[in-house]
A = this chain, B = another copy of it.
Amino acid sequence: VWTQQITVYDQENFQGKRLEFTSACQNIMECSVDNIRSLKVECGAWAGYEHSSFCGQQFVLERGEYPHWESWSGSNAYHIERMMSFRPICSANHKESKMVLFERENFIGRQWEINDDYPSLQAMGWSNNEIGSMQVQSGAWVCYQFPGYRGYQYIMECDRHGGEYKHYREWGSHAQSFQVQSLRRIQQ
């Protein structure tokens, strides 16, 4: 039994060349596919990336069917239709996920320990539309630029960077600001 499995297709609607993976793929072009245009996550949670070697925009991919690019991307402000690499996400037991948010970079300022999903951080009492830095203590999380889980996605994991994300430059090569307005745990 595989704990992670993803099937990708080089055409929309699960058509064209079909490839199955149970571990990371650093560059889909090495599998003689020029791009991924649809996919099915059969098991586990995965991180998809705009560019090879896990660079560029990030997309959380949970179990289910994604018939075209728009079904996994939440940011059309910066319109790209590419997914060139992907890898499994190692998330904790959902109930045990824990993270600390800091008002300012380098883990300073007001702090807030969270262990739940927040479609609107401001509705729950966070004072503005930014987070300065984050410390993931358990599990894997996805942060979003806008409320309601929209806009750029930033995947944060306790077993990467030692769980420490002290400036937006460490959130991913696509991050351009501290703006985060919703976040949630990633489930297997």
Number of chain copies forming the complex: 2
Interface of A is mostly: loop
- Select one of B63, B117, B151, B186 contacting A122, CB under 8 A: B63
Residues from chain B with Cβ under 8 Å of A147 in the complex: 41, 61-66
- Select one of B41, B60, B181, B187 contacting A64, CB under 8 A: B181
Binds B, one of A26-34, A49-57, A67-75, A161-169: A67-75
User: Shortest beta-carbon distance, A94 to chain B, in Å?
Assistant: 10
Q: Does A148 make an interface contact (CB < 8 A)?
A: yes
Q: Is the CB of A148 within 8 A of B61?
A: yes
Q: What is the CA–CA distance of A149 and B59 in the complex, to the nearest angstrom?
A: 12
Given the known interface contacts A75-B70, A146-B72, the answer about A187 and B63 at a Cβ–Cβ threshold of 8 Å is: no
Q: Does A150 make an interface contact (CB < 8 A)?
A: yes
Q: Does A119 make an interface contact (CB < 8 A)?
A: yes
Closest to A63 in B: B123
Measured as residues with beta carbon below 8 angstroms from the partner, the interface class of chain A is: 35 or more
Q: Is the CB of A129 within 8 A of B65?
A: yes
Q: Is the CB of B187 within 8 A of A71?
A: no
A residues near B (Cβ < 8 Å) are 41, 60-66, 68, 70-77, 117, 119-123, 129, 145-151, 181-182, 184, 186-188
Q: List 19 A-B contacts (CB under 8 A).
A: A41-B147, A61-B148, A62-B119, A62-B182, A64-B120, A64-B147, A64-B182, A65-B147, A68-B77, A71-B151, A72-B146, A72-B148, A73-B150, A76-B76, A119-B184, A119-B186, A119-B187, A123-B187, A148-B149
